[in-house]
Structures are given as C-alpha cells and as structure tokens.
Amino acid sequence: MTKLVTIDRHIIDQERLHPGASGRFSSLLYDVALAAKIISREVNMAGLIEDIMGKTGDTNVQGEEVQRLDDYAQEVMIKAMDHSGHLCCMVSEECEDIIPIPEKFKKGKYVLLFDPLDGSSNIDVNVSIGTIFSVHRKVSPGEDGTLDDCLQAGRKQLAAGYVVYGSSTMLVYTTEYGGVHGFTLDPSIGEFLLSHPDIRIPDPPSKTYSVNEAYFSRWSRGQQQFVEQLRGTANEPGLGFRSRYIGSLVSDFHRTLLTGGIFMYPRDRTSPEGKLRLLYEAAPLAMICEAAGGRASDGDRDILDLVPEGLHARTPLYLGSSDLVSMAEAALKAG
C-alpha cells in the first residue's frame, strides 16, 4: 500500500512547500471538500430518495429547468462556505447576482465562484455530474465583495477545482503554485484520499475528440473541417480519432485530462458565444488543464486571458492536449 494522504494533509503539505501560502486559503479548500462530501452523499442516494429526483418546476438564470439536487447542492455550498470568514462574496450558476456574506458572519479576502451541480439534466438517468469551483483574491477596497472582485481574468485565479460524482467521487484541484492533484472519496471513512498525484495530460494523447456533433450543420466551415480531419469522411480516412461525448462537462473534461484528446463546445449559428460559462466553468477547468500541461482556448484566445463582461458570460471552449487545441485554432482561422 502506498502512503495514505488525505486531502487535508495534502493541503497542509502544499502550504508548507509554499511559505507564501496563507492558512486561510487552505481552510477554504477544506470547506469545499466538506461540501463535496455532503453533495456526494445525496447524489449517490438520488435514485433512492423520491423527493430529490426530478425537477422543482423552477428555471434558473440560464432559463434551464432546475433539478431538486441543483437546489440542494447550491444550498450545501452556501451553508458550508458563508460562515468560514474567508469569503467576501460568492457567485453561483444558480443565482443571477452576487451572493453576499450575511452581516452576522466575518468577511474575508477571497471570492468563491461555482457551478454547484453541472450536467444536472443527467441526474435522472444516472450519468455522472459534477461541481466546479474557482477562487479569486478580493481586489476592491472595503469588506463586501463587488462585481470587480468577481469579473477577473482566469489567469488571476488562486485555485480551481472540480468534483466528479461518478463510479467514485473524485475531487481534482490546482492552485497558483501549480500541480494538479486528484483525490478519491472513501465513503466508508468520509475522507478524500490522494489517488492521482501530479496529474499530467498524457503525451502523446489518446486519439479522442469530444463534441456534440448534432450541431454539425450550425458550425463554421473551419469547425466542420477540423472534426472531419480528426474522424475522416466517406472519402477521406482522416486521423482515425474516436468520439466520446457524455454531455456532462465535468465528466468529458475529466476523461480528457486523464487520457488526453480534445473537448470542444464551439460557438454556432444559434449560440454565437457557445453555451458554457466563462467564470465558473471554462476558467477553472482551463486553469487545471494548463497546470496539467494542456491548453484551453475559445478558439482564438487563451481562456485564461479572457476578462468576463458579466457573471454569466458564455464562451466557446476548447480544452485538452496542446497540439490538438492549437490545431483547432488553426482550422477555425483557415475555415
């Protein structure tokens, strides 16, 4: 048996490696891990608890039907984080505006942005779903979080991570000090144990591309040509890539991170900015992808250089092995 390292121990060890790290930031990550354990418990029971399954009948700011587990995950994240004393505000996919820290709690110098349960349309069919989070440092004066504290480029992130609730629950995170580390939840002891230290995107990558080809006819010519180059056409053999698309961002990205390849959610005729959100989906996954040796682009620019215009701004997204992301950018330019 290799040594057993819990996420708490790992965070402390990482903090010791970097004298500049502050304990406040580390305990913020503990709290996220706690929230992930609680959400994991409910997600893994979803099939058994009648009142959790199905929809609330509401729609969120994105106009998407809200699933009960969405509500639950949102509430757990807020309840686990709002009294930590480390945050000046929060941003969630489920809330139109900034989530302030209640007056009764001490405020801190970090901002937590998150998608509490991404891919929730897959809940009722037992497909893996995930939580995505991003941490920024407060930049505006005063105690309360402001839009300026939230609308920062991904390059400024202090930390980013995701939890995938799949055949096992895994938490993957990176910090400004670099390194991507994966922890698998052992539900029998309620601990995230280090299972994937120092994740690097494999090079050469697996020949896998991930995109929803149902939208092929709406794509630009360059996007169509890139996918045809990867998988071939009736007349051309192409590069012999295979397609894998789960339709759950965290799962599609997690596979890409561990095996290599490329995940794409392109812009198209009906969604000129794509579907995925910059602040709490694209930017955190881009930070992880780059820290693991990959690239993340909107098809033209690095995701981490984009400055969001609004809390729920969307972006086209290309994530994965550097060479493949660069090939996609070249195909889009030539298209």
Residue ranges that bind ligand P6P, judged by CB under 6 A: 118-119, 121, 212, 247-249, 252, 275
Residue 248 beta carbon to ligand P6P: minimum distance, rounded to whole angstroms:
5
Judged by beta carbon, residue 175 or residue 256, the one nearer ligand P6P is 256
Fill in the amino acid letter for 175: T
Contacts made by residues 122-125, CB under 8 angstroms, sequence distance 24+ = 122/246, 122/247, 122/248, 123/43, 123/46, 123/53, 123/67, 123/69, 124/53, 124/54, 124/67
Judged by beta carbon, residue 7 or residue 311, the one nearer ligand P6P is 311
Residue 241 beta carbon to ligand P6P: minimum distance, rounded to whole angstroms:
18
Judged by beta carbon, residue 214 or residue 234, the one nearer ligand P6P is 214
Judged by beta carbon, residue 127 or residue 193, the one nearer ligand P6P is 127
Residue 104 beta carbon to ligand P6P: minimum distance, rounded to whole angstroms:
34
> DSSP string of 28-65?
HHHHHHHHHHHHHHHHTTTTT-TTTSSEEEEE-TTSPE
Judged by beta carbon, residue 7 or residue 211, the one nearer ligand P6P is 211
Residue 220 beta carbon to ligand P6P: minimum distance, rounded to whole angstroms:
17
Nearest by Cα to 313 from 142, 182, 123, 147: 147
Two structure tokens written together for 283: 């930017």
Judged by beta carbon, residue 115 or residue 149, the one nearer ligand P6P is 115
> DSSP string of 245-306?
--S-HHHHHHHHHHH--EEEE---SS-TT-SSBIIIIIHHHHHHHHHTT-EEESSSSBGGGP
Residue 212 beta carbon to ligand P6P: minimum distance, rounded to whole angstroms:
4
Residue 326: which H helix or E strand, with range? helix 322-334
Two structure tokens written together for 28: 């913020």
Residue 20 beta carbon to ligand P6P: minimum distance, rounded to whole angstroms:
34
